Amino acid sequence: MADKIATRAAYGEFLVEEGARNPDLIVMDADLSGSTQTKKFAQAYPDRFFNAGIAEQNLMGMATGIALSGKTVCASTFAMFASGRAFEIIRNSIGYTGANVKVCATHAGITVGEDGASHQTFEDIALMRTIPGMTVVSPCDAASAKILLKQVVDMVGPAYVRLGRAAVPVFYDEDAKLELGKGYELRPGKDVTVIANGVMVPSAMEAAEELARDGIDVRVIDMHTIKPLDEEIIRKAAEETGKIVTAEEHSIIGGLGGAVAEFVSRECPVKMAMVGQKDVFGESGKPDELREKYGMTTGDIVDAVKSIL
């Protein structure tokens, strides 16, 4: 792993690169372009950037109209405001019409840190994946963010991309073979499977290495796409390892853990444990300290694995 880069920073770089390739790309923001990094696109292509102001519902409505006129729109604000404040508009305007809007939301999860409980959304994946036809993506680093964002922009239809505030290790190579809707097996294993996404992917790999020293063989899967969910790779993991732990920077209610549990309970029941935000709000603090307090660390994954063995 190389230097640390925030996925929101990778998003800003991607927009400028994609803007040169795609003259039909429009970028919009809700007065947070410095934080979401859309300012880079605004500086490069000012005639294709629109600031809706602090009016998130209006942002999504405007994005829908522009998309239905034939453009591809990336609409950005903080994840709390995109998924929470603008949910109805995303559902009824973007989702219902199948508009080609990519809601690229930054500052998700506990690693928002000092911004505190009002800005730390743990509900966004749960909300977005309930919308019919919505693709939901949570990349773990800058390299995978760019790879998956390119595929999101190239596909036709609505998508929600979850991006972070904090700088995180670059885990993948820039030419990694990642594909929307397909989980990526990072490590083989026969005793238990850890399915992770976002900032929890490097932690899952660290946990697997730690558990290997205890003779526990852990398979690790990066489930960067929560919807559509890669049911084939989950079924294979369930049948071959018999136990699954999910790890995410999101509530254990309705997120990756919920999606995996919904599938295995129907098709291939196995023992499961979930690492993520419990049914509580966060608080202001340093990202690493908050992950420790709220149970989203390497050690928490290790403990979860041992609890179901």
Return d(Cα 80, Cα 16) in angstroms, integer: 25
Same fold, 4-169 and 184-308: yes
Return d(Cα 212, Cα 204) in angstroms, integer: 12
Rounded to the nearest angstrom, the gap between the alpha carbon of residue 83 and the centroid of all alpha carbons in its chain is 13
pLDDT of 185 over the 80 cut: yes
Q: In the CATH hierarchy, which fold is given to the domain comprising 4-169?
A: Rossmann fold (3.40.50)
Left, alpha or beta for 219 (phi > 0: left; psi -120 to 50: alpha)?
beta
Give the percent of the chain with pLDDT over 90. Answer: 98
Report the relative pairing of strands 49-51 and 72-76 from DSSP bridges: unpaired
Decide: helix, strand or coil at residue 226: strand
Catalytic residues, by residue number, are 56
Q: What is the mean pLDDT of residues 57-71?
A: 98
Query: What separation in angstroms does the CA of 289 have from each of 111, 113, 137, 165, 170?
Result: 9, 9, 26, 15, 21
Report the relative pairing of strands 4-5 and 168-169 from DSSP bridges: antiparallel
Return d(Cα 54, Cα 81) in angstroms, integer: 10
Left, alpha or beta for 261 (phi > 0: left; psi -120 to 50: alpha)?
alpha
Sign of the alpha-carbon torsion through 277, 140, 265, 297? negative
Q: What is the mean pLDDT of residues 81-105?
A: 98
Q: In the CATH hierarchy, which fold is given to the domain comprising 184-308?
A: Rossmann fold (3.40.50)
The stretches of 113-180 forming alpha helices (DSSP H) are 124-129, 142-154
295 CB neighbour count, 10 Å cutoff: 17
- pLDDT (tens digit, 9 = 90+) per residue, 68-88? 999 999 999 999 999 999 999
- Residue with tokens 């995303």, as numbered in its chain: 90
Q: Which residue ranges make up each domain of the chain?
A: 4-169, 184-308
3 — pLDDT class (breaks 50, 70, 90) = confident
